Structure 1
Amino acid sequence: MAEVEVLVVGAGPVGLTAACELQRRGVRCRVIDRLPAPQPFAKAVGIQPRTLEIWDRMGMAREALEAAVPLRGQLLYVNGVPQARIELTLPPDVPYRFAALPQNDTERLLEDVLKRWGGRVERGTELVGFAQDAHEVRARLALPAGEQEEIRVEFLIGCDGAHSVVRKTLGLDFAGAAFPEEYMLGDVEVDWELPPGYAVRSWWRSSR
């Protein structure tokens, strides 16, 4: 018999959401993440209206909106000159609007929900490999102190990102392609007079 029903690999937004939805329905799950601590960076920030509807059912939409900034549109510039202002509009029957919330805040809120439903994230714990048959999955974990543990579960959910051990072990392709451009990602505080809630896109064209 499996020791827990589900092993969730990866404690990002996808893995935490899956774990929360399982726990609140009475499905026992174990959540692991290879990083020793949550990342303190924003990374992704865009929150879709449908995501907020799901969070409403989970009981965290209010907390998310209190921490978020309403996303109203985009301001476009070329060589520092304003070119366009795009407004984000939705049908009136959509209960939530777009929002901007740093991913580290999203993960913090989701982990709080997981704890309320009796779950927790085992940090510094990595999936080394697994095998499955018609009845269960046998997963091998590397624990923080260096030892290994083998567990049996009914299902394994791979939420471990672009370099997923789960995907590679199953021999699945990573559909999609990378952008050819290079870019930098950073968390900064900006003192300016631009209206809040607008993403800013700025292009610089050389005369050469």
Structure 2
Amino acid sequence: MNNVQFKGVMIMNTVVTSKEAIMQVCRRIVAEKGMKALNMRLVADECGIALGTLYNYYADKDELVLAVVESVWKDIFHAGFQEGTEVSFCDFTAGLYGRIRAGAQAYPGFLTGHSISIASARHGEAKSAMEHTFAHMKAGLLEVLRNDPCAAADAFTPSFSREDFVGFVLDHLLVLLVQGQADCRILLEMIRRVVYK
């Protein structure tokens, strides 16, 4: 087996025995071949382990797919993110859009393809995994919004909460990405009008 390069890092094609190492291989497969190519036998072969060993980590393909979808989303969400950096909510949202858009290019077809993969998986677990992933994104957005020193003090009320607004922003950000929009300028203008009165 040959060594491969993924995102500028040389990955040796040796025996893989940790969940994170398996996820690295899975992300590479998704980046190179798409979600449809992901299957237990291919992952085991690419990891250099027996198929039965992979089943020790993931009970079936559904469980593996759910883990991969969550792993890819985390990779996309955290790419280029610097903790502790003060940034406005508007700038953070624009940066998040750019990261997800770049991630969509790094993982071609992922934004639309993972929905199909999730739909064919066990419904309850798939829904829970996606809720967890999007809750993580919402939490990041909410933290930035709460800490934005330029946000108007009276921009939010009990009937128009930060949490609801962040949910609205994330939903519309994802719709724009699936539509293939080059930017989210209209969404950013809405944010400016609401948050920075």
TM-score, with structure 1 as normaliser: 0.24
Q: Which has a greater percent of helix?
A: 2
Larger radius of gyration between Structure 1 and Structure 2: 1
TM-score, with structure 2 as normaliser: 0.25
Q: Which has a greater percent of strand?
A: 1
Structure scoring higher RCO (CA < 8 A, sep ≥ 6) equals 1
